[in-house]
Amino acid sequence: MATYFIGDIQGCYDELRAILSQVDFNPSKDELWIVGDMVARGDKSLETIRYIKSLENSAKPVLGNHDLHLLALHGKLKRPKPSDQLSALLCADDIDELVDWLRLQPLLRQHPSQPIVMTHAGIPPQWDIATAIEEANAVHRALMSPNYLTHLIKDMYTDDIDDWAESMPSKQRLIYCVNALTRMRYLNADGRLDFSCKLPPESNPDNTLKPWFHFPSMVSETHTLVFGHWAALMGKVDNPALQALDTGCCWGEYLTLWHLESNQKITQKKLKKS
């Protein structure tokens, strides 16, 4: 058995199949942990999500911000943008089935035997692992509810909930968790989330902002944290407890696969269209 973790796929289906072919991925015995943002930007989101769903228990995805946005688009809470290239997926005959599968996926996965945890964007430094699991599970339950669109999705589009407090009402806790686990890049000095800057740390001129992983973290003291979301990092972080796997395939760069057992990285360059 081999365990692989893969960065943001974002509809890059051909590259996904190519990189799995490189390692002779066998879903009957191997596992594929997927760091979220399975859809959008690339031109084959429909094929991507169908394939991942077909892997059944060998696929271990978490949800990213683009995956959650797909739920809003399907629920007619938002209008799709041409740049997301989601028309084929939204018009597919099996879209309802795919969306129902998608919303059953969690925001956080913890490896059953290794001290490894995976979310899309990271874990805020204010949280220990128990808090992260508890808050992610609350979002998971909300998404599994038949009323997930009104209970969560319609309210999640806000930058106002950028700070954490134990005393927050339950709805605000849900939204903060979504913001932190699927959108986080920089934090202000007081720990509040910043939603505007997407630059790599070496190019950021605002010295009031620091990458979330430059703050002291209880989670990284005990766990390896696998995340994606921040393509501008191109996998470069200065902490051995972090595995940053988004390497911008949908932007013309490459997919990255981390083989847990050998601690090796495998890459697949964006393929040219024929």
Residue 220: the pLDDT is: 87
Residue 274: the pLDDT is: 63
Six token digits for residue 176: 């903060």
Residue 225: the pLDDT is: 97
pTM attached to this predicted model = 0.96
User: Does residue 160 fall inside a structural domain?
Assistant: yes
User: Does residue 228 fall inside a structural domain?
Assistant: yes
- Structurally, the chain folds into a number of domains equal to 1
User: Does residue 16 fall inside a structural domain?
Assistant: yes
User: Does residue 207 fall inside a structural domain?
Assistant: yes
Would you give per-residue pLDDT tens digits along the chain (274 residues)? 999 999 999 999 999 999 999 999 999 999 999 999 999 999 999 999 999 999 999 999 999 999 999 999 999 999 999 999 999 999 999 999 999 999 999 999 999 999 999 999 999 999 999 999 999 999 999 999 999 999 999 999 999 999 999 999 999 999 999 999 999 999 999 999 999 999 999 999 999 999 999 999 989 889 999 999 999 999 999 899 999 999 999 999 999 999 999 999 999 999 987 6
Residues 6+ apart with CB under 8 A from 42: 9, 10, 11, 12, 13, 48, 85, 249, 250
User: Does residue 76 fall inside a structural domain?
Assistant: yes
User: Does residue 274 fall inside a structural domain?
Assistant: no
User: Does residue 48 fall inside a structural domain?
Assistant: yes
CATH of the domain at 196: 3.60.21.10
Residue type at 202 in one-letter notation: E
Residue 113: the pLDDT is: 95
Residue 247: the pLDDT is: 98
User: Does residue 50 fall inside a structural domain?
Assistant: yes
Q: Which domain holds residue 126?
A: 3-269
Question: DSSP letters along 91-159, please?
Answer: T-TTHHHHHHHHTTS-S-EE-SSSSEEE-SS---TT--HHHHHHHHHHHHHHHHSTTHHHHTGGG---S
Calpha distance 70→90 (Å, rounded): 8
